[in-house]
Amino acid sequence: METNVVTNTKNKTNVKKIAQIGMLGAIAVVLMLFEIPLPFAPVFYEIDFSEVPVMIGCFTMGPLAGAMIEFIKILLNFAVNGTSTAGVGEVANFLIGCALVVPAALIYQKKRTKSGAIVGMVTGTLFMTFVGCFLNAFILLPVFAKAFGMPIDALVEMGTAVNRHITSLSTFVIFAVAPFNLLKGFLVSLIVLLIYKKISPVLKMGM
């Protein structure tokens, strides 16, 4: 009898957890629709705050749940908006998103304090910046150029138009991609820091 009660409780918890993962993934997709252009980067680099619910899910339910939320976000966006990079951009975006939230959640799991959250988010931001620069330089930008039938130099020129320091692929990454990821990581972390304590009790009640 006692075993059945434990099993039923665990099953209910799992169902609620799956529902919360789906809900946070759906919120993330909606937030992807609101993009903010940046003065130092070409028009195709716009900041959104879709990683905020992903980070909150990571802190509340763990890094695996966060990765699942990120996957749902990318999958739903792919279903709604399609792709211009044969799915390569979506895979890269998934990896870049996970590069931010997973390290942050792993550190926060070991030290569930405000300082632990800050250290985790700073680490995640730096790791995301590294991963984002690498993927943009060697995968995303070449694929993007090929998909639209233009040379890499044309993308560089788009960067030069808004930032005179961008003169090559490497400077594009240094002066556009790196600042973009650093700024996004900072803003997402700041928002999560401000709202997490208010939202987390609601999510934890369902678990």
* Residue 157: strand, helix, or coil: helix
Q: Which tens digits make up the pLDDT trace of 16-29? A: 888 899 999 999 99
Q: What is the mean pLDDT of residues 166-186?
A: 95
* 150 — pLDDT class (breaks 50, 70, 90): confident
Residue 113 exposed, middle or buried by CB count within 10 Å (0-12, 13-18, 19+): exposed
Where in the chain does DSSP place strands (E)? 36-37, 46-47
Q: What is the mean pLDDT of residues 51-69?
A: 94
Domains and their CATH numbers in the chain: 2-205 (1.10.1760.20)
Residue pair 57/21 in contact (Cβ under 8 Å)? The answer is: yes
Characterise 119 by phi-psi region: left (phi > 0), alpha (psi -120 to 50), beta (else).
Answer: alpha
Q: What is the mean pLDDT of residues 127-131?
A: 97
Please tell me the distance from the alpha carbon of residue 86 to that of residue 67, in angstroms, as a whole number: 22
* 6 — pLDDT class (breaks 50, 70, 90): very low
